Structure 1
Amino acid sequence: MTSLKAQDSALLLIDHQVISMGFIRTQSPETAKMNSVTLVKAAKVLDIPNVWTSSTEDDNQDWWMPGLEEINPHAYANRVKRTGIIDSWDDPNFVRAVEATGRRTLIMAGTTNDGCLIYTAISAKQAGYEVYAVLDAGGSVFQISDQAAQLRMMQAGVILTTTAAVLGELAKDWATPHGAEIRKLLAENLTTAIGGFGLSK
């Protein structure tokens, strides 16, 4: 396993939709949203390409989560709208979009770790990609199902990580211009999280 490098990476968001976010119970859906937004902002700073996909968005009127389109309008406009395929990697349009990035390391988050994320993460790993699953940019309904999903992904060789860990690993050096921007994003993220728990800032 090599260290995470921005120039080798692409960011994949899977099913970050309004109704889908409501199924998160292992942490606050707002925390999952905050971490997802932070990842997209960091990707913009580091020029990391994004590939987004949604599930039955039009049929279920489960629209893409607000707050992301404004950061990366291109990724939003080009998101792959799956019409029922559960594992995103089974959708040829999604795979083509990932291949078009030219990146072999995939930083991946899904609304539910035990549904949206697990299948795609394992399939991408089996396809030869290095896969980082960002667990706190999603969640699950039940703790036991989240733990089972984590165990299964680890057994398949997927690297489990968090938003803060990804940002630190990508930044490399806080003293660089990009590192300083990422550090600011991380500080904003942590300040919001701490404030959300009712602790003093």
Structure 2
Amino acid sequence: MHCPHHSKVKLFSPADSVMLLIDHQQGTLNFCRNIPHKMIIQNTRALARFAAALHMPVVLTTSQEERAQGPLIPDLKELLPEAYDARVKRTGVANAWNDPAYRKAVETAARGRKNIIMAGLTNDVCIAYPAVSMCEAGYHVMVVQDAGGSPSTMADENARRFWERAGARTITVNALACEMGKDWSTPEGGKMIGIVMEEIIGHLDEMAIK
């Protein structure tokens, strides 16, 4: 199955979108080898700040915090304290959408919205499968690929092809800022470009692949 109207790109807006940040845990960060960890953290910080600045619903989730995956990165507790406290602690269901508590949390936060912005660790497991499942459930799904990563470039690219075949769209954090802000001269656009400058542009040297 495919996302609705998958042959026509649907542009998202803050008013019709929900942000899902999946398994951005200190341990799962260590499973990523195709992208610098600093880049994942800075891009995830940017997404969290986008959601807060634009008043978009956001749902956080973790898997087996007490094991190798560990707790969420501290940045999310700092930037999204309420969502952090309300995070769905999964007991081991790899495809988050198959966890009833998580599905209920997303549906409650969405309040009927069908546009899903999704990012997490790792892309090849924790993002690929819920992205496809949510497409099958009738959502429009957009995966922010550079706010996550995989154990290898091959794994990340296989995951991207997998979710795109289902109809999900791939985007980067900077492009998402443009899509959400639309016009840098507006209050919303000004917030987006400010966050990009602070969280991404200001850290490009640190995030470079050596």
Residue of structure 1 in register with 2:35 after alignment: 27
Code of the residue aligned with 1:96 in structure 2: it is K
Note the aligned Cα RMSD (angstroms).
1.3
Code of the residue aligned with 1:116 in structure 2: it is C
Question: Secondary structure at 2:71's aligned position in 1?
Answer: coil
Share of identical aligned residues, percent? 37
State the 4+ residue runs in structure 1 displaced beyond 6 angstroms: none
Code of the residue aligned with 1:31 in structure 2: it is M
Gaps of 5+ in 1: none
- Find out whether 1:139 has 2:149 as its counterpart: yes
Contact 2:26–2:72 (CA<8 Å) still a contact in 1?
Answer: yes
Residue of structure 1 in register with 2:206 after alignment: 196
- Find out whether 1:45 has 2:62 as its counterpart: no
Correspondent of 1:13 among 21, 39, 43: 21
- Which whole-Å CA distance do the structure 1 matches of 2:69 and 2:177 have between them? 33
- Which whole-Å CA distance do the structure 2 matches of 1:190 and 1:17 have between them? 20
Displacement after TM superposition at 1:180 (Å):
0.6
* Residues 76-134 of structure 1, C-alpha deviations (whole Å, 9 max, x = no match): 01100000101000001111111112121110001111011101111011100010000
- Larger relative contact order (CA 8 Å, sep ≥ 6): 2
Kindly tell me the number of residue pairs found equivalent between the two proteins: 198
- Which whole-Å CA distance do the structure 1 matches of 2:192 and 2:69 have between them? 34
- Find out whether 1:161 has 2:138 as its counterpart: no
Question: Secondary structure at 1:51's aligned position in 2?
Answer: strand
- Find out whether 1:83 has 2:91 as its counterpart: yes
- Find out whether 1:93 has 2:78 as its counterpart: no
Gaps of 5+ in 2: 1-8
After TM superposition, the score normalised by the length of structure 2 is: 0.90
Contact 2:46–2:200 (CA<8 Å) still a contact in 1?
Answer: no
Code of the residue aligned with 2:39 in structure 1: it is T
- Which whole-Å CA distance do the structure 1 matches of 2:127 and 2:70 have between them? 18
- Which whole-Å CA distance do the structure 2 matches of 1:98 and 1:21 have between them? 23
After TM superposition, the score normalised by the length of structure 1 is: 0.94
Q: Which stretch shifts more, 189-198 or 58-67?
A: 189-198
* Residues 148-197 of structure 1, C-alpha deviations (whole Å, 9 max, x = no match): 11111110001001101111100011111121111111122332342226
